[in-house]
């Protein structure tokens, strides 16, 4: 079971857009030292849409190599091509990843039956735990609880990253899929509320720049210190707001640059963030005690 504070890793890049391999390795090491409980390379936050297949493979391999089994690595392996998703998931398994995060196919707009067959094909082809990534805001399709319950019967399909921001969803998913089905929030703002609804953790964007605080929030909840968890949540809300005031990962990569962890560079079609966004990010980080 994956639980607690997990991070949707950025992919640090040099000013010319090349992968910054050293910065990535140092970033993963810092995340582990700060208490992050799970690493998710090459998701949307990691700019997977603009990485080549070779770069995608390299980032997964580097993450596994740095983690050295200290925390689980859940590799992003989704695609709107089932065959491509199978290939990426096979590579994740060969690289030593602990699981795969597979996004619902975007643009194709499959039916619920299409979603079912897509995930079953991947789960049948690769013996690796799979988390469904349900994010209607980016994929346009929303996997129903009924479809998820069908998929949960497969031994390799073990959970969901739920980015619907619908706090009734974990209640119905728990009832349909059982308490052992891993439920992780994919929305930073809902992390504590999602835990209260029966979730097990959060795959966070904000944890890229506030890993210790995010871990402390999850620890507080797990230890029954609900008010402490809520206090940390309140401290982080302006940071969450800033991280999504423009399309992610633009703001979070700028925030990481302020910490000296990456450049702010994102590959096209992601444009540099606006000056107003930079100001908002700085103010939020300073207010949360992340910057002096």
* DSSP structure class, residue 128: S
Strand order in the sheet with 157-162: 38-40, 4-8, 201-204, 182-185, 157-162, 130-134, 99-103, 74-76
Please give the Cα distance from 77 to 62 (Å, whole number). Answer: 15
Q: Is residue 119 annotated as a catalytic residue, yes or no? A: no
Q: Point out the catalytic residue in the list 116, 119, 133, 194.
A: 133
Please give the Cα distance from 34 to 43 (Å, whole number). Answer: 21
The candidate with the shortest Cα–Cα distance to 243, out of 204, 292, 200, is 204
Please give the Cα distance from 109 to 153 (Å, whole number). Answer: 24
Q: Point out the catalytic residue in the list 116, 119, 161, 254.
A: 161
Please give the Cα distance from 220 to 174 (Å, whole number). Answer: 23
Q: Is residue 106 annotated as a catalytic residue, yes or no? A: no
**Residues known to be catalytic:** 133, 161
């Amino acid at each position: 079971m994956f639980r607690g504070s997990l991070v949707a890793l950025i992919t640090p890049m040099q000013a010319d857009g090349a992968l910054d391999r050293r910065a990535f390795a140092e970033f993963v090491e810092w995340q582990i030292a700060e208490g992050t409980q799970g690493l998710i390379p090459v998701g949307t936050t990691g700019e997977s849409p603009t990485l080549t297949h070779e770069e995608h493979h390299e980032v997964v391999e580097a993450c596994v190599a740095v983690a050295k089994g200290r925390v689980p690595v859940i590799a992003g392996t989704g695609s709107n091509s089932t065959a491509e998703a199978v290939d990426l998931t096979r590579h994740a398994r060969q690289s030593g990843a602990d699981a795969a995060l597979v996004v619902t196919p975007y643009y194709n707009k499959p039916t619920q039956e299409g979603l079912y067959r897509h995930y079953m094909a991947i789960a049948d082809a690769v013996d690796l735990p799979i988390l469904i990534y349900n994010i209607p805001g980016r994929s346009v399709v929303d996997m129903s609880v009924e479809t998820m319950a069908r998929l949960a019967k497969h031994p390799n399909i073990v959970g969901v990253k739920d980015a619907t921001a619908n706090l009734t969803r974990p209640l119905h998913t728990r009832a349909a899929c059982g308490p052992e089905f891993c439920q992780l929030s994919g929305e930073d703002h809902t992390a504590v509320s999602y835990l209260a609804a029966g979730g097990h953790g959060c795959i966070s964007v904000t944890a890229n720049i506030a890993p210790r605080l995010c871990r402390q929030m999850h620890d507080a909840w797990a230890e029954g210190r609900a008010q402490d968890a809520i206090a940390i949540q309140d401290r982080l809300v302006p940071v969450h707001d800033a991280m999504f005031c423009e399309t992610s990962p633009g703001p979070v990569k700028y925030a990481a640059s302020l910490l000296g962890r990456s450049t702010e560079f994102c590959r096209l079609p992601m444009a540099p963030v606006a000056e107003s966004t930079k100001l908002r990010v700085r103010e939020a980080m300073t207010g949360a005690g992340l910057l002096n």
